[in-house]
Structure 1
Amino acid sequence: MRFLKKLSVTAVSSIITLSVVQAAEPTPADWFNAGRQTVIDAKHLRPNERQAKNVILFIGDGMGISTITASRIYDGQQKGGHGEENSLSFEKLPYLALSKTYSVDQQTPDSAPTMTAMVTGVKTIGDSVSVNQFVAHSEPNANVIEVNKLTTILEQAKQHGLSAGVVSTARITHATPAATYAHTANRDWEGDSDRPVGATVPDIAAQLVDFNINGGIDVALGGGRTRFIPNTATDPEYGVAGKRKDGRDLTADWLKKHNAQYVWNQAQFDAIDPNTTDHLLGLFEPSHVHYEADRLAHDQAGEPSLTEMTVKAIDILKKNRNGYFLMVEGGRIDHAHHSGNAYRALTDTQQFAAAVQAAVNNTNPKETLIIVTADHSHVFTIGGYPQRGNPILGLTQGVGATTPDLDLLGLPYTTLNYANGTGYTGASNAQAEGSKSFTTPATAAWASGSEGHNPTSFSPASGRPLLDEAKVEHPDYLQEAIIPLGAETHAAEDVAIFAGGPKAHLFHGIVEQNVIYHVMAEALGFDRPDGAHEDKPSHRGK
């Protein structure tokens, strides 16, 4: 739906945050006074030098600066404002830095080495999960992996007597969550059937369940059921076969832990009592969980939101008087971008921000360090000269204009685009077919011409299509791309780090991505000067 140009907007508050719709546009004095108040507030900001009891690391996978900006505007427009003055929850955290995301061998990285850097303090090569740069890609020998593995902040937390949890909207065995607990030279070895014959390094799913430091991982919530059940069993929701060839049912093995529960749907999840559950495994889809935009409408058995999973994890972990480490990933922001679909990238970021707010609401800022960052960016752009309040998913329309701006071919264009990917409108037929690589129930309907959309206008022979608001603001629209690729790629620019709580002030300037680990370790009082091997036992909390 297109936003009206004459909508009332919020008067600027002391932090330029959209809150209550007012009757008038901010005056010059409002802008000036709000800016001055921001400086006054900054002068009263005092670093928290205390040791952290808890650390929550939020990863918006693929959540680059342009994604944050577009999501901020989208969220604000959904609230009825222009959008630009809005702030997402994590943008209100007091400390900020930029993170350089390259890996040892990649200018533009993937999620495995970037997350490895954040949770081990050491940069490594592409596709590697918490092993150092000297391990060859796809190294099958478990002994080699053992010698070259990097100790993670989650492992250290368990060694020090803390609880630990991992939450994701991706498969819980996907690269980002895997790097917190697993060690392998190939991020794709998520289940035993993914490994080559003769490989002795355990698969990622087995490493999660067999994790044996101080009772194991306490909470693991996400997707990826088929990597945990044998190929002789069927998925309880969809009836597809499991993928394990070794005959193990890892969900049953999980239940051997103390006060352990395994859930796979919303009703079971809701029934979990954090007071009586010490170990919780939740696997809500055979692969990744649904995009937030599709979760309620298309999940057969129901699945919790990222916010609900975050709160449940905190409620279980906080029972430990020594504290906890929790990693929460908005994994499907990345997947939507790879598909060239801005709508789902923005709505998943919106849900990610809600999860951060829930964590803020359910923790004490004096004792909990909260960090929000991304592993890498995407080639996602915000361009043209749209007027303030122009629908962020819509056609570009300039200040004072009554019709969309036109390119040199006389055609309108969108504010959001991609530098490469499935939305190429020249030789690619991705737009004409609704993108075979991006499948949702709504996509098929759109491609077949239902809901008032005519896919014939996306003929590959016609070059740029004649766009209208109905097409570009449809949830399944794929923004145009310059370079035709089967999937849009990551980007190499720096990403943001937002932080609040104990030692959060240590984030400043432009830093290497592996510095994130070192701030967390400093905050928790961990000491690992070698940066690679096991820490000595701790008497923390005793």
Structure 2
Amino acid sequence: MCKPFNVLLFVLFVGRCVCLIEDQAYWRQLGKEELSKALKKRKISNQAQNLILFVGDGMGLTTSTVARIYGKGESGRLAWETFDNLGVLKIYSANKLVPDSCSTATAMFTGIKANHKTAGVDSTVAVDDCAASRKKPAQVESFINWAQTAGKATGFVTTTRVTHATPSALYAHTPNRSWECEANIPQDAADCDDIAWQLVNNSPGRNIDVIMGGGRQCLQANVEGSPEDPVDTWSCYSKQQGRDLINDWKTDKEIRQSSYQVLQNNLDLQNMNESAEFTLGIFANGHLKLEHERDKGPEGMPSLADMTAAAIRLLSKKNPNGYVLMVEGGNIDQTHHRGHARKALDETVALSDAVDVALNMTDVTNTLIIVTSDHSHSMVFTGYPDRSQGVLGVSNSKMDNVPYTNLLYGTGGPNNYQFVVEENKVKRPDPTAENITDFEYSQQSVVLNDEVTHSGTDVLVYARGPMAHLFNSVHEQSYVAYAISYAMQIGIFEGLDPFDDEDSGSSHIYGMSLSFLIMLPFIGVFRVI
């Protein structure tokens, strides 16, 4: 029998239990294998025909690390952890050190950093400033615009509402991420179009070939909920008489004499017409069900992996010129906000499954796959747990002798903030009195808040395929858009080499004038604290 402290794992093979021992020989062999892989690293320098950008919303490094252990074991790897190229992204927004999802998505998708709670506009637009957001110079284009101009197919898939913060930055220009439908726009901003309306009626939204996610209640007025598909009380709920943007979407395609399909459940997705020119999959009133709770039957909602596979099939057949696809694991963030760590880990593993699907369906020589996050969360992994314990266990405090979960949150709602005052002393309840491995369990937090808030910690970006080596250092989050543009030769770098063309910026560093550059040595350096 193998001793626990030196056993890597047990493998059941032809009826025998095989012990892998983590002795010196094991670590030396593992080190040699990793070094050999690094020395054989392949650089693919040709132009990328296709792009798939995966965004794990709220998936900071702690989430990714703990999800790996949770889903694959500490010696395993999530799908993107097999990639050879990675970098670090600085995620601050134009006006916040700790950002939200729409400002960070704007940075990644357009190359321009935006203010908190705004999407598809530059930093001249403050939150709620409708007039500023309507000015064309303030509106910024995403790589969806660039791809459509270059004649490529486009699509996005999300487990959130299709009008939610992250996807909105692909196609909308809004001074408030909450304006997903008309009901949330104040009277003094009536001139602004809501996000759902822009998706169906404006470019590039109306020209996106594949759209999949939730958000029916933002597209159609007065939708009814059910136990299986409730109305999302956190979201915008359209009540405008006669509003039916799904029908408007159909009418637009009919006027353009384009084939189309609307999908509503697993059966529709399974039986979809792969030759349809446009596909709209709206599978929920609000966000899609979490992976562990969704109905996998014909009437249920699809997984992120299912939608990813369907989108790749549709886009790859539609256009020989290639495609771009954004895939968001949005429920990672939603579950973190509630302080449900196990749900967040489970959703991260579901994102890994979707990435695996993409890896198996694409060619590394022509498809650039990028996996990253928009921001981190305040979850921490602590307590010195034994490897045999797993990530959902507890450690014991040496100060008050009360156990604490190895996963904790910096901030949290009432279910997370578990401190009580007894005899003029602050005490924590013993978490082992509850089922701490249950999906509904809320990890303890330090500060009481309305919900778990984001973290401003940097995130990682992983890449595989043509020009994946462009991710190799600490980058601004906005750099992602420029790397995409250059790798695919669309948008900013369409048809030109930025290192050879005289108009590319070789004579203008970040747009600075020559006179300003001359003055640089004489300008003092100021540090704002």
For Structure 1 versus Structure 2, the TM-score category normalised by the shorter chain is 0.7 to 0.9
Q: Output the CA distance in 2 between the equivalents of 1:517 and 1:346.
A: 28
Question: In the alignment, which residue of structure 2 is the partner of 1:350?
Answer: 349
Q: Output the CA distance in 2 between the equivalents of 1:487 and 1:308.
A: 30
Aligned CA RMSD, in angstroms, stands at 2.7
Partner deviation per Cα, 1:221-266 (whole Å, 9 max, x = no partner): 11110111123x5469758696141623111122232211112222
Match of 1:409 among 396, 400, 413: 400
Q: Output the CA distance in 2 between the equivalents of 1:520 and 1:148.
A: 22
Partner deviation per Cα, 1:476-496 (whole Å, 9 max, x = no partner): 111111111120100011001
Question: In the alignment, which residue of structure 2 is the partner of 1:386?
Answer: 385
Question: What amino acid is aligned across from residue 308 of structure 1 in structure 2?
Answer: D
Q: Output the CA distance in 2 between the equivalents of 1:146 and 1:246.
A: 30
Q: CA deviation at 1:426?
A: 1.6
Question: In the alignment, which residue of structure 2 is the partner of 1:175?
Answer: 165
Q: Output the CA distance in 2 between the equivalents of 1:527 and 1:221.
A: 24
Question: In the alignment, which residue of structure 2 is the partner of 1:485?
Answer: 449
Question: In the alignment, which residue of structure 1 is the partner of 2:269?
Answer: 269
- Going from structure 1 to structure 2, the CA distance change for 1:497 and 1:194 (only over 3 Å counts) comes to same
**SS at 2:141 equivalent:** coil
Contact 2:372 2:462 in 1 (8 A): yes
Match of 1:425 among 418, 424, 434: 418
Question: In the alignment, which residue of structure 1 is the partner of 2:149?
Answer: 159
Q: Output the CA distance in 2 between the equivalents of 1:227 and 1:300.
A: 24
Q: CA deviation at 1:273?
A: 2.4
Question: In the alignment, which residue of structure 2 is the partner of 1:360?
Answer: 359
Contact 2:79 2:353 in 1 (8 A): yes
**SS at 1:468 equivalent:** helix
Q: CA deviation at 1:141?
A: 3.3
TM norm structure 1:
0.82
Match of 1:249 among 244, 250, 261: 244
Q: How high is the sequence identity, in percent, across the aligned residues?
A: 36
Question: In the alignment, which residue of structure 2 is the partner of 1:447?
Answer: none
Q: Output the CA distance in 2 between the equivalents of 1:474 and 1:462.
A: 26
Task: Report which of the two has the higher share of strand.
Answer: 2
Q: Output the CA distance in 1 between the equivalents of 2:91 and 2:205.
A: 32
Contact 1:263 1:269 in 2 (8 A): yes
Question: What amino acid is aligned across from residue 496 of structure 1 in structure 2?
Answer: L
Q: CA deviation at 1:407?
A: 3.5
**Alignment of structure 1 residues 112-151 onto 2, 5 Å:** 112-141=102-131, 144-151=134-141
Question: In the alignment, which residue of structure 1 is the partner of 2:310?
Answer: 312
Q: Output the CA distance in 1 between the equivalents of 2:210 and 2:17.
A: 40
Q: Output the CA distance in 2 between the equivalents of 1:43 and 1:469.
A: 51
Question: In the alignment, which residue of structure 1 is the partner of 2:518?
Answer: none
Query: In the alignment, is residue 37 of structure 1 matched against residue 36 of structure 2?
Result: no
- Going from structure 1 to structure 2, the CA distance change for 1:205 and 1:427 (only over 3 Å counts) comes to farther
Question: What amino acid is aligned across from residue 343 of structure 1 in structure 2?
Answer: R
Q: Output the CA distance in 2 between the equivalents of 1:5 and 1:26.
A: 10
Query: In the alignment, is residue 279 of structure 1 matched against residue 257 of structure 2?
Result: no
Contact 1:111 1:176 in 2 (8 A): yes
* Higher deviation after alignment, 508-517 or 264-273: 264-273
Partner deviation per Cα, 1:408-454 (whole Å, 9 max, x = no partner): 111122211111112111259xxxxxxxxxxxxxxxxxxxxxxxxxx
Q: Output the CA distance in 2 between the equivalents of 1:203 and 1:21.
A: 60
- Going from structure 1 to structure 2, the CA distance change for 1:21 and 1:103 (only over 3 Å counts) comes to farther
Query: In the alignment, is residue 203 of structure 1 matched against residue 194 of structure 2?
Result: yes
Q: Output the CA distance in 1 between the equivalents of 2:17 and 2:56.
A: 29
- Going from structure 1 to structure 2, the CA distance change for 1:122 and 1:143 (only over 3 Å counts) comes to closer
Q: Output the CA distance in 1 between the equivalents of 2:359 and 2:298.
A: 31
Q: Output the CA distance in 1 between the equivalents of 2:379 and 2:116.
A: 22
Question: In the alignment, which residue of structure 2 is the partner of 1:303?
Answer: 301
Q: CA deviation at 1:518?
A: 0.5
Q: Output the CA distance in 1 between the equivalents of 2:298 and 2:42.
A: 49
Question: What amino acid is aligned across from residue 90 of structure 2 in structure 1?
Answer: K
- Going from structure 1 to structure 2, the CA distance change for 1:506 and 1:22 (only over 3 Å counts) comes to farther
Q: CA deviation at 1:9?
A: 3.4
Partner deviation per Cα, 1:38-77 (whole Å, 9 max, x = no partner): 111111112110100001000000000000010000012x
**SS at 2:126 equivalent:** coil
* Higher deviation after alignment, 60-69 or 196-205: 196-205
* Higher deviation after alignment, 416-425 or 246-255: 246-255
Q: CA deviation at 1:144?
A: 2.8
**Alignment of structure 1 residues 524-539 onto 2, 5 Å:** 524-528=488-492
Question: In the alignment, which residue of structure 1 is the partner of 2:91?
Answer: 101
Contact 1:159 1:213 in 2 (8 A): no
Contact 1:95 1:504 in 2 (8 A): yes
Question: In the alignment, which residue of structure 1 is the partner of 2:458?
Answer: 494
**SS at 1:190 equivalent:** coil
**SS at 2:344 equivalent:** helix
- Going from structure 1 to structure 2, the CA distance change for 1:44 and 1:24 (only over 3 Å counts) comes to closer
**SS at 2:286 equivalent:** coil
- Going from structure 1 to structure 2, the CA distance change for 1:478 and 1:21 (only over 3 Å counts) comes to farther
**SS at 2:177 equivalent:** coil
Contact 1:121 1:517 in 2 (8 A): yes
- Going from structure 1 to structure 2, the CA distance change for 1:135 and 1:142 (only over 3 Å counts) comes to closer
**SS at 2:287 equivalent:** coil
Q: Output the CA distance in 2 between the equivalents of 1:268 and 1:375.
A: 31
Gaps in structure 1 of 5+ consecutive residues:
13-19, 77-82, 397-404, 429-457, 531-542
- Going from structure 1 to structure 2, the CA distance change for 1:466 and 1:57 (only over 3 Å counts) comes to same
Partner deviation per Cα, 1:73-111 (whole Å, 9 max, x = no partner): 0012xxxxxx21111011111101010000110000001
- Going from structure 1 to structure 2, the CA distance change for 1:7 and 1:273 (only over 3 Å counts) comes to farther
Partner deviation per Cα, 1:193-223 (whole Å, 9 max, x = no partner): 2211252221111111124459711111111
Q: Output the CA distance in 2 between the equivalents of 1:501 and 1:529.
A: 18
Q: CA deviation at 1:24?
A: 2.7
Q: Output the CA distance in 2 between the equivalents of 1:169 and 1:213.
A: 21
Q: Output the CA distance in 2 between the equivalents of 1:284 and 1:163.
A: 22
Q: CA deviation at 1:521?
A: 0.4
- Going from structure 1 to structure 2, the CA distance change for 1:73 and 1:247 (only over 3 Å counts) comes to same
Q: CA deviation at 1:348?
A: 0.2
Partner deviation per Cα, 1:113-136 (whole Å, 9 max, x = no partner): 100000101111111101010113
**SS at 2:134 equivalent:** helix
Partner deviation per Cα, 1:291-350 (whole Å, 9 max, x = no partner): 1121138x9930000000000000000121011110000001011111111010000000
Q: Output the CA distance in 1 between the equivalents of 2:398 and 2:265.
A: 48
Question: What amino acid is aligned across from residue 159 of structure 2 in structure 1?
Answer: T
Query: In the alignment, is residue 184 of structure 1 matched against residue 183 of structure 2?
Result: no
Question: What amino acid is aligned across from residue 374 of structure 1 in structure 2?
Answer: S
Question: In the alignment, which residue of structure 2 is the partner of 1:27?
Answer: 23
Question: What amino acid is aligned across from residue 409 of structure 1 in structure 2?
Answer: D
Question: What amino acid is aligned across from residue 163 of structure 1 in structure 2?
Answer: A
Question: In the alignment, which residue of structure 2 is the partner of 1:58?
Answer: 54
Question: In the alignment, which residue of structure 2 is the partner of 1:326?
Answer: 325
Q: Output the CA distance in 1 between the equivalents of 2:425 and 2:242.
A: 51
Q: CA deviation at 1:22?
A: 4.0
